[in-house]
């Protein structure tokens, strides 16, 4: 076999980072390229040379995992980027894979399985945890369930947020200093875009992202 794969571990939880790093170094096929506690630290670590694999957490303070991934691809980073997270939210999976992640693994993956998956990723496979694989067909069939949120104008989003706090049209109109009728127009348009039958249904869908 050739030389071991180098890995950069990016996670804002020191404890988990320690566990991952220990796992990496305990296997002869991998070496630790470095570790970073924030997305910015990770980008700095990549300024000189690159590892073979970047293990990236989502839900980090400051720069999110998605932002970090985008920034890395922008910088021309060619390393395999594998997401390692607790979130199995459909929205996250779809967004990250669309953004060019080479894998999406969950943090409750068994250590041995994780190493296997990383080796597979180096062979050019896209590695996905079983639990989230179900979302893959949605990635192909496109039209993300919450794609409608992206199509909203700033004003509509503002009104949706007020609505999703349980406020009535009248209260929203007073908050925003516009007529109740205008709020109703916005709500009408929101309902059409969300393809929802009532404001409550729309609020629920919005809150569940």
Partner DNA sequence: ATAACTATACTCCTAAAGGGGTATTTTTTG
Partner DNA sequence: CAAAAAATACCCCTTTAGGAGTATAGTTAT
Distance CA 35, CA 15 (A): 12
Looking at the Cβ atoms of 40 and 178, the one nearer to DNA is 178
- For residue 180, state whether it binds its own copies (rule: CB under 8 A): no
- For residue 164, state whether it binds its own copies (rule: CB under 8 A): yes
Question: Do residues 39 and 63 make contact, with C-beta atoms less than 8 angstroms apart?
Answer: yes
Size of the site for its own copies (CB under 8 A): 37
Q: Which of 1, 15, 123, 142 binds its own copies (CB under 8 A)?
A: 15
CA distances from 65 to 46, 78, 133 (A): 15, 17, 20
Which residues are paired to 81 by β-bridges?
54
The partner in contact with residue 118, picked from DNA, its own copies, none with C-beta cut-offs of 5 to 8 angstroms by kind, is none
- For residue 20, state whether it binds its own copies (rule: CB under 8 A): yes
DSSP letters for 18-68: HHHHHHHHHSTTEEEEEEESSHHHHHHHTSS---SEEEE-SS-SSS-HHHH
Structure token pair of residue 12:
């804002």
How many Cβ atoms from other residues are within 10 Å of residue 37's Cβ? 18
- For residue 34, state whether it binds its own copies (rule: CB under 8 A): no
Distance CA 69, CA 156 (A): 29
Q: What is the total residue count of the chain?
A: 209
**Binding mask of the shown chain, residues 95 to 124, with x at each position contacting its own copies by CB under 8 A:** ------------xxxxx--x----------
Distance CA 140, CA 133 (A): 12
- For residue 168, state whether it binds DNA (rule: CB under 7 A): yes
Looking at the Cβ atoms of 153 and 209, the one nearer to DNA is 153
Question: Shortest approach of DNA to residue 45 CB, angstroms?
Answer: 36
- For residue 188, state whether it binds DNA (rule: CB under 7 A): yes
Q: Which of residues 53-82 bind its own copies (CB under 8 A)?
A: 61
The partner in contact with residue 120, picked from DNA, its own copies, none with C-beta cut-offs of 5 to 8 angstroms by kind, is none
Q: Which residues bind its own copies (CB under 8 A)?
A: 12-20, 22-23, 61, 86, 107-111, 114, 163-168, 196-205, 207-208
């Amino acid at each position: 076999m050739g030389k071991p794969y180098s890995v950069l571990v990016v996670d804002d939880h020191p404890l988990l980072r320690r566990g991952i790093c220990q796992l990496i170094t305990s296997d002869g096929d991998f070496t630790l390229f470095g570790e970073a506690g924030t997305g910015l630290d990770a980008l700095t670590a990549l300024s000189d040379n690159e590892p073979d694999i970047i293990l990236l957490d989502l839900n980090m303070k400051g720069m999110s995992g998605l932002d970090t991934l985008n920034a890395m691809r922008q910088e021309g980073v060619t390393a395999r980027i594998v997401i390692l997270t607790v979130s199995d939210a459909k929205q996250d999976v779809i967004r990250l894979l669309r953004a060019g992640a080479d894998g999406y693994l969950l943090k409750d993956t068994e250590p041995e399985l994780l190493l296997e998956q990383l080796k597979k990723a180096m062979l050019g496979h896209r590695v996905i945890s079983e639990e989230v694989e179900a979302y893959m067909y949605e990635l192909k069939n496109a039209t993300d369930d919450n794609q409608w949120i992206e199509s909203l104008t700033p004003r509509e989003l503002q009104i949706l947020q007020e609505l999703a706090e349980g406020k009535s049209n009248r209260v929203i109109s007073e908050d925003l200093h516009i007529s109740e009728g205008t709020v109703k127009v916005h709500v009408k348009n929101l309902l059409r875009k969300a393809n929802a039958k009532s404001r409550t249904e729309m609020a629920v869908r919005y809150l569940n992202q």
